[in-house]
Every structure is written in structure tokens, then in C-alpha cells.
Amino acid sequence: MPFDLVGYFLRWRKVWYDPSIGDFAEEGDYYLMIKRIAIYDMDGTIVCSLHRYSITNTGKINLQHWRDNQHKAMEDSLLPLAAQYKRDLYNPECYVIIATARVLNKPDIRFIQEVLGEPDHIISRKGNEDTRSGKELKISGLAKFFNLINFRQADAVFYEDNVEYLKAVCDRFQITGVYIPSQQGH
């Protein structure tokens, strides 16, 4: 179902398989106002990736260990909040964003497509050389949305397991934050 933004509204075309003609049929454009923006961190919030997660003696994530185990992304599992994430995906009045500090590689993208479900937009690192802090990454990625008229009237909620990132993003955009306790919010 192709989506795009038109003014204050989300536009999509209804498409279905019609066995009587042996092909896909489609109906005209539908317009819905975007009433809610749901922003989800991934690890420790909607996805459990503890099996490939390690911390250093200083309490920071061991990035080399994470990178060495990125091929295991399909072994990640869903956390309870993923049920809310999936409900938001199917709500045509909700624009869903994943904002993660991960570098998304092929296994991560496959997990999103096949297990988690694809959001309307993803904010992530552009590569291993992207060394911005998680809060800087998320704020810069979200800024373009909150500068659009389409999103100014929508209620936004940010689900995050890192208190520092949660506070920074919510303070910057004056949105509601939901702290999700986890073992991965480092």
C-alpha cells in the first residue's frame, strides 16, 4: 500500500487481489490526518538483542562485540512493547518512526522486514564512521519531521530505554516520553 504525505494528510491507495480478474485492483485515493507520531528506539525497547550485547568495564556498550555479532540479528526477539508498535503500524492515522543508534546492516533490515514490521521512517547511523551520540543522531533525524506543518498538530510519543536520550529528545521537541527499563540502555 503506497503512502505519501499531502499537506496535513497521509494519502494511500487501497489495493487488493481480485480473483475474478486474476490481478490486483485498486480504489481511489484516501486521505487521513496524521493524529499521532510514535517514535520507537529498537534495542531494549521493542527488540531484545541481549544475545549479542556486551558492555565494557566502563559500562559502555562494547561496539566491537556488537559489530562482530551483527550477523545474528535474525536471532533477536520481540519485547512486549512490540505489540503496541505493530498496532501503531496498522493505524493509518499514526506515523511510525524507528530511531535507533544502530548501523542497520542487511541482517537488521531483514529482521525489520520479516519480523518486526516496516515503519514509515527509520533513523539510524549511516555507517561505523558515524560517531555522533545517540541523542544527537535521534534529534537531528527527528528535527525534519517536527519542522513540517504536517506533524506540528500531531501528538508525539517517544519510547526509549536510555534516560539521557529520552530527556534530550523530549525536551528538544516538547513531546511525551515513555521510559522503558531495560538491560540495554547504555
Q: How far is CA 62 from CA 57, 72, 174, in A?
A: 9, 16, 32
Q: Cell numbers for 85, please give them.
A: 508498535
| Average pLDDT rounded to a whole number, residues 139-157 | 87
Segment holding 30, helix H or strand E: strand 23-33
Measured CA to CA, the distance from residue 49 to residue 124 in angstroms comes to 16
Segment holding 77, helix H or strand E: strand 77-78
Q: CATH 3.40.50.1000 residue ranges in the chain? A: 36-179
Segment holding 149, helix H or strand E: helix 149-152
Give the torsion sign (CA, 68, 70, 75, 81).
Answer: positive
Residue 9 has pLDDT above 80, yes or no: no
Angle between helices 163-173 and 134-146 (to 10 degrees): 30
87 CB contacts (<8 Å, ≥6 apart)? none
Q: Pick 168 or 128 by higher pLDDT.
A: 168
Provide the 10 A C-beta neighbour count for residue 132: 14
pLDDT one-digit tens code per residue, 60-89: 776 777 677 788 888 999 999 999 999 999
* CATH topology classification for 36-179: Rossmann fold (3.40.50)
pLDDT of 144 reads 87
Q: Are 43 and 65 in contact (CB under 8 A)?
A: no
pLDDT band at 11 (very low <50, low <70, confident <90, very high): very low
Q: Which residue, among 64, 34, 65, has the nearest Cα to 52 in the 3D structure?
A: 65
Q: Pick 11 or 76 by higher pLDDT.
A: 76
Q: What percent of the chain lies above the pLDDT cut of 90? A: 49
